[in-house]
Amino acid sequence: MCLLALCLPAAARADDSRTFFAMDTVMTVTVPGGSEALLSACEDEVRRLEALFSVTDESSEIARLNAEGRAVLSDETAALLGGALDAAALTDGALDVTLYPVVRAWGFTTGDYRVPDDGELAALLALVGWQQVTLEDGEASLPPGVMVDLGSVAKGFASDRLAALLRGSGVTSALIDLGGNIYCLGAKRNGSAWRIGVRDPDGSGEYIGVVAVTDKAVVTSGSYERFFVAKDGTVYGHIFDPATGRPAESGIVSATVIGPCGFQCDALTTALYVMGLERAEALLETLEGVDALLVDAEGELWATGGLRETFTPMGAYSAAAIHWIR
Ligand code: ADP
Ligand code: MG
């Protein structure tokens, strides 16, 4: 194996990047010229955060909060939960970290997929509502039966932490890909912007286009990433509408957000997907410093003005007319 590595051209040196499985997804951190120790530090950092936030790991802070209804949280878990509650307020509850009892009933955390009936959903929905979470001086508490899951924002938060870790180590160019939650640190080493492909939500594996970014996160949410097909052929995706307790069918099939904060982008992609075009447009009008690219069920593209210069549609979308939001 060492011999094989020696045969590789310098540009493809495998030790420039590290791929590992964490937070239920495949992650790759690429640091051109970076050391093995630095890549290990990145992997360790993600695993450390996962051990705090994981809803399925019984020893995590979040699992303890869910089991006991009350927990004193570390600064990081409190920051992430607090940020998620702020995002819930901003998105009028489209992002709601208390959806967990519903998501679990559909089998999305276990893989035992099923369609709960209306009575079961109504009972579970009574447990959903981000306003039920109390967070004060790092101590969180939940009413009986209420549970939180930070899965919709944890990868974006982790990408910010990795960017900070790498910057602190003097790194000026890196690509952090946490299962589609991408953070571009600086530019490529040749000075050109990172070019990030946005997948076609039709599941074909093709791209609708490329965004050119430096020092920004690029995050996409789409149900083509995780879904199950019921016996009757219905496809159920993993992003839920807190108003119904069912997979969101808002007319938006993919939402990409580009901005300086990975956490914010991760929270917004999930929320925009749930909100649908009208609500998404109204929210995006009020947000500065972030851009968004939405694909609707008809395959039409909707984008904010910052993408005029940086987004290049391609493939089946190369001639697509883009509806500009602002
Ligand atoms: P991914 O984890 O595929 O990147 P998201 O960031 O969009 O996707 O988060 C979706 C996950 O968050 C789901 O797997 C589910 O556990 C949870 N979730 C689903 N819908 C919501 C929602 N409306 N608000 C908060 N969390 C959600
Ligand atoms: Mg998200």
Instruction: Give residue-wise pLDDT tens across range 22-41.
Output: 999 999 999 999 999 999 99
Give phi and psi for 257, each to the nearest 5: -125, 135
Residue linked to tokens 């990047």:
17
The answer on pLDDT for 178 being more than 90 is yes
Q: How far apart are CA 175 and CA 31, in angstroms?
A: 7
CB of 93 closer than 6 angstroms to any ligand 1 atom: no
Would you place residue 294 in the very low, low, confident or very high pLDDT band (cuts 50, 70, 90)? very high
**Residue nearest atom 27 in ligand 1 by C-alpha distance:** 152
Question: Can you count the helices (H) and strands (E) in the chain?
Answer: 9, 19
Domain 4-325 fold: T-fold (3.10.520)
pLDDT band at 14 (very low <50, low <70, confident <90, very high): low
301 lines ligand 1 (CB under 6 A): no
Q: What is the pLDDT of residues 100-137, one digit of tens each?
A: 999 999 999 889 999 999 999 999 999 999 999 999 99
Is pLDDT above 50 for 227? yes
Give the tens place of pLDDT for each residue, 207-222: 999 999 999 999 999 9
Residue 245 has pLDDT above 90, yes or no: yes
As a whole number of angstroms, the distance between CA 140 and CA 74 comes to 11
What gap in Å lies between CA 191 and CA 19, rounded to an integer? 24
Share of the chain above pLDDT 70, in %: 95
Atom of ligand 1 nearest to the CA of 226: 3
What local confidence, expressed as pLDDT, does residue 36 receive? 95
Q: Which two tokens stand for residue 210?
A: 């490329």
Q: What contacts 86, CB < 8 A, 6 or more positions away?
A: none
Model confidence at 12, pLDDT cuts 50, 70, 90, reads very low
Instruction: Using alpha carbons only, give the angle 322, 221, 76 rounded to the nearest 5 degrees.
Output: 130
Q: Is residue 5 pLDDT above 90, yes or no?
A: no
Phi, psi of 230 (to 5 degrees): -75, 170
Q: What is the pLDDT of residue 109?
A: 87
Reply yes or no on whether the pLDDT at 4 is more than 60: no
CA 65 – ligand 2 centroid, Å:
21
Q: Is the pLDDT of residue 2 over 70?
A: no
What tens digit of pLDDT does each residue of 30-72 get? 999 999 999 999 999 999 999 999 999 999 999 999 999 999 9
Query: Rounded distance, CA 270 to CA 60, Å?
Result: 23
Q: Does the CA dihedral 100-103-105-110 come out positive or negative?
A: negative
**Pocket flag, ligand 1, residue 151 (CB < 6 Å):** yes
pLDDT band for position 15 (cuts 50, 70, 90): low
136 vs 98: CA distance, rounded Å? 17
